Structure 1
């Protein structure tokens, strides 16, 4: 195998700035910033806008929004109709 072909795989701290959550994950992300972690070690640091801590699919917010839209759409289309033969 060729040497120095693959990027360096290392532990990186990702910071979700929308909910102020930190993740310590292995990654090939290249960054010049560093941060001192809770264990006393210094790790590469990278900020992100959205993660599993803030994404609507993972927090459950999107499902409720879609459900409300579907119910309103159903009521709009069929809510005022009465079934034939019913009194």
Structure 2
């Protein structure tokens, strides 16, 4: 393998800002802040807006947007009464 072309992987703490869920994994994500963990380690901190703990798809709270028909059908129903002028 070539030297100097691989990213610098290190342990990084990811935090979900909406509920405070934290997980540690190896990453090369750029960070500016650090966090002190319960076990005494100080790790780089990466803040996330949503994770699998809060995303509707993973939590089962996702609502189906297309439950009453497709977009084309909605368009046709909306503009059916307008008709074409001759």
TM-score (norm 2): 0.71
Give ranges in structure 1 of 5+ residues lacking alignment: 75-87
> What TM-score results when the alignment is normalised by the length of structure 1?
0.70
Distance in 2 of aligned mates of 1:19 and 1:41: 22
Aligned to 1:42: 42
Q: How does 1:39-78 map to 2 (within 5 A)?
A: 39-62=39-62, 65-66=63-64, 70=67, 73=68
4+ runs of 1 displaced by more than 4 Å? none
Q: CA RMSD in A?
A: 1.7
* Matched length: 69
Higher-helix-fraction structure? 1
Kindly indicate whether residue 36 of structure 2 is the aligned counterpart of residue 2 of structure 1: no
